[in-house]
Every structure is written in structure tokens, then in C-alpha cells.
Amino acid sequence: MANRVVVRYKTKPESADANHALVAAVFEELAAVDPGGVRYATLRLADNTFIHIADIEADPNPLGSIAAFGEFQREIGARCEPGHAPLVQPAELVGEYHTFEEGFGSV
């Protein structure tokens, strides 16, 4: 069974672009390494809130072996607005329709 979570946090305005770059580096490394068992997406809202959606089938979690993910996690609290630290919540999939298909809104 997959471990599906949603993580939400809001960065300080001066940290938002750096956070964006750190997240992008995670996706670059995931594409290069392709650890399998990972479905992962991140959204950035206009107010610098970031939402990560992760569906991890592998055990142990392959993200732990991604160097860029470790770098992203390092000092995440310092990049966040006070009171808006990462909140990790388990999530249940209710439904989806062509979510984040390759070539459809992907970066």
C-alpha cells in the first residue's frame, strides 16, 4: 500500500525563489536516478505557499537517498514564515483525472 501525503508550508517572500530552486533540484535528481516507487508533485501558489503531493510505494522511502532532497530539507524551517512550517498530512485519493500528465502543464 502506498504512503500518500500532502505537505503544505509558506515561505518568507525573500526565501521563496531559493526554495523553488531547491525543489526543482529534487525533481532533476529524481529524473536522473529514477528510484521507482515514487510519484511526486509540487505546486507553488501566488502567496509563496508550497504544496507537495507524494505517493511513495517503496520501503524505505527512496527520497531519503536523494541528495537534493536532503539539501531541500536542510533549514526548511528558516525559509518558512513564522507559524507556517511544513505540515505533513496523510491523504486519501478520492479521484483524479489526467493529473499532471507529461506534456500537459509539466515543467
How far apart, in whole angstroms, are the C-alpha atoms of residue 72 and residue 22? 5
The count of domains in the chain is 1
Q: For residue 58, what pLDDT is reported?
A: 82
Residue 21: half-sphere exposure toward Cβ, Cα within 13 Å = 6
Let me know if residue 105 belongs to a domain. Answer: no
Q: Which residues make beta-bridge pairs with 4?
A: 55
Residue 82's domain comprises 3-90
CATH code assigned at 79? 3.30.70.100
- Comparing CA positions, the residue from 32, 60, 28 lying closest to residue 42 is 28
Q: Output phi, psi for 98, to 5 deg.
A: 50, 45
How far apart, in whole angstroms, are the C-alpha atoms of residue 81 and residue 23? 17
pLDDT tens per residue, the chain (107 residues)? 568 999 999 999 999 999 999 999 999 999 999 999 999 999 999 999 999 999 999 888 999 999 999 999 999 999 999 999 999 999 999 998 877 766 544 44
User: Quick check: pTM over 0.75?
Assistant: yes
User: What is the 8-class DSSP label of residue 81?
Assistant: P
Let me know if residue 71 belongs to a domain. Answer: yes
